[in-house]
A and B are shown apart, each in its own frame.
Chain A
Amino acid sequence: MFGKLIYLIRRALRNMFQSPVLCIATVGTVTVSLCILTFFAIIVLNVQSMTRHWSQEVQVVAYLDEVPSAAQISALVQSAEALPEVVEVVYVTRQQAFAGFRDRLGDDALLLDGLDDDFLPASLRLTLHEEFRNRLGVEQVVGELKKTGGYSDFRYGQDWLDRFESLLNLLRIAGAVLGGFLLFAALFIVANTIKLTVYARREELEVMSLVGGTSMFIKSPFLIEGAVQGVVGGCLAISLSYLLFTAFLAGGLETLFLASGVAEIVFLPFFYQLLVLAAGILIGILGSLISLRKFVRI
């Protein structure tokens, strides 16, 4: 079994060295296809981090009816903190709210002169877990707080949240469609390039079949070859993408994203790099299988 595997690998490597031009063409095609996929993934990941950053804005502000006693405050904070959706609860006094308002007004703060610093209501500001930073999560929290009572009003930027969710959905759909399309296009292009290799060796395939080679015996070297080309193409694609990323893409994305408040532009994380390699292997093997179907019928 092991000996047979070694034999098949040897044959696959030999085939590759025997037709270097076709081999380079296939590796090149895999590289370019995966490079496009990698760039797409980098953009998707950074857009995701940008939306995650934006989602931090999703907060529930619960205004209090009266100025509560210290005991009441601690009870309200505790009951709010007990909600599974909530990460953090901050109590904002009337004075803190006034100071914050004054800060926001900036040069126009003069307008507040003569007003008492307790005319704004006290409130609780609730920060939610990432997975609940959506309309459903927010409404759930508000529903629970209403049951508790003691609140006069709730604010959570309803309109903004709706628009934000529509944008996220649009990005998700666009990402899935574009990603799927790119993967399919890559497979199609690679399969057609591999078809050239298979076509160049069609006599060998015919002879193998005539002397009693099983379907697996005939196909295996081509599948191994496809997998090896996929790995090499994948490695080259990641390296090339990194070079292009640092040289051009990072700068371009930075001007676009940093303005939106994102801390840094990131390259593909290690796990995703492994996924690109896996995609390379998959594309290589599938491409070989598709091409071989036409030529190996035993």
Chain B
Amino acid sequence: MIQLYNICKSYSKDGTALEDVNLKIPKGDFVYITGPSGAGKSTLLKLLYVAERPTRGQILINGQNVTRMSVAKIPFLRRQLGIVFQDFKLINSRTIFENVAFPLEVRGRKRFEVGKKVYQVLKNVGLEHKLTKFPLQLSGGEQQRVAIARALVMEPLVLLADEPTGNLDLEVTLEIMDLFKGANARGTTVLLATHDREMMRRFPRRQICLENGRLTEDWIP
């Protein structure tokens, strides 16, 4: 599903964010990307959703070489991905319903289909009763559930999550992890960047450790 060959990424002459990273993630895998702050976890995810381009190396996602992908094709790659951020990235001026409906509208889905799907996915994350609320009227955990619902509404091939539980307490973290596990059980490949050791202990999965931009450990339980 995801293959990285000799990936290097540097933002300046001196600073290297990633160095010679080789990685293969099969379809349906659940992978933690761990490491201290500044290790290159976010950069790795940014390369996967093509917010950044590698300085060197090749990245294949579902058979497509994204390294040389034209700007016009990037949106179509992103439609196969679901992305979740630590700061949720919800549009505060839009209701929960509208936020989750966004990826469907982007694809030009019909209104009745949008309504049905959004309701269903919000029900899955337990927020179907709050669809007319605005993000700032919800708690942090609820906002993250909305962000996950938005990422899952199109049943993506790959779910990329960058520190999704960074700002949440343990109880909410467990709820969020249940959602990721559920998506993974339905066949979505999940890549989760985190440094939450407790979470990895409770839900042991394959762990890829980055340190100073290098892949230092690839552990499979």
Any chain A CB within 8 A of the CB of B113? no
- Whether A212 contacts B89 in the complex (CB less than 8 A), given A4-B108, A7-B105, A207-B102, comes out as no
B9 at interface, CB cutoff 8 A: no
Q: Assess whether B107 is interfacial by the CB under 8 Å rule.
A: yes
With contacts A4-B108, A18-B93 taken as known, whether A211 is within 8 angstroms of B72 at the C-beta atoms is no
Contact check, A210 vs B49: say whether CB atoms are below 8 A apart.
yes
Q: Are A210 and B89 in contact, CB atoms less than 8 angstroms apart?
A: yes
**Stretch binding the partner chain, chosen from B29-37, B75-83, B119-127, B201-209:** B75-83
A208→B102 contact, CB < 8 A: yes
Contact between B102 and A203, CB atoms less than 8 A apart? no
In the complex, which residues 195-213 of chain A have their Cβ closer than 8 Å to any Cβ of chain B? 203-204, 206-213
Does B106 touch A at the CB level, under 8 Å?
A: yes
Q: What A residues does B185 contact at CB under 8 A?
A: none
B150 within 8 Å of A (CB atoms)? yes
Which of B77, B79, B83, B91 is most buried by chain A, counting CB atoms within 10 A of its CB? B91
Q: Within the complex, what minimum Cβ distance (angstroms) separates A43 from chain B?
A: 44
* A residues in contact with B49, CB < 8 Å: 210
Closest to B105 in A: A7
Tell me whether B103 is interfacial, beta carbon within 8 Å.
yes
In the bound assembly, the distance between CA atoms of A148 and B107 in angstroms comes to 79
Set of chain B residues within 8 Å of A56, measured between Cβ atoms: none
Report the interface size class on chain A. 10 to 19
Residue of A nearest to B83 (CB): A210
Asked whether B103 lies within 8 Å of A206 as measured between CB atoms, the reply is no
The CA of A4 and the CA of B108, in the complex, are separated in Å by: 7
> Which residues of B have CB within 8 Å of A79?
none
A4 to B111, CA, bound (A): 11
Q: How far is the CB of B201 from chain A (nearest CB, A)?
A: 31
Q: Select the residue from A203, A211, A297 with max chain B CB neighbours within 10 A.
A: A211
For chain B, residues 89 to 138, give those with C-beta under 8 angstroms from any C-beta of chain A.
Answer: 89-94, 102-103, 105-108
Complex CA distance for A211 and B94, rounded to whole angstroms: 15
Q: A217: which B residues are within 8 A, CB to CB?
A: 75, 106
Tell me whether A152 is interfacial, beta carbon within 8 Å: no
Most buried by B among A207, A212, A297, A298: A212
A-B contact pairs, 24 of them (CB 8 A): A4-B108, A7-B108, A203-B89, A203-B91, A203-B92, A204-B91, A204-B93, A204-B94, A207-B89, A207-B90, A207-B91, A208-B102, A210-B49, A210-B78, A210-B89, A211-B83, A211-B102, A211-B103, A211-B106, A212-B76, A213-B106, A214-B72, A215-B71, A217-B75
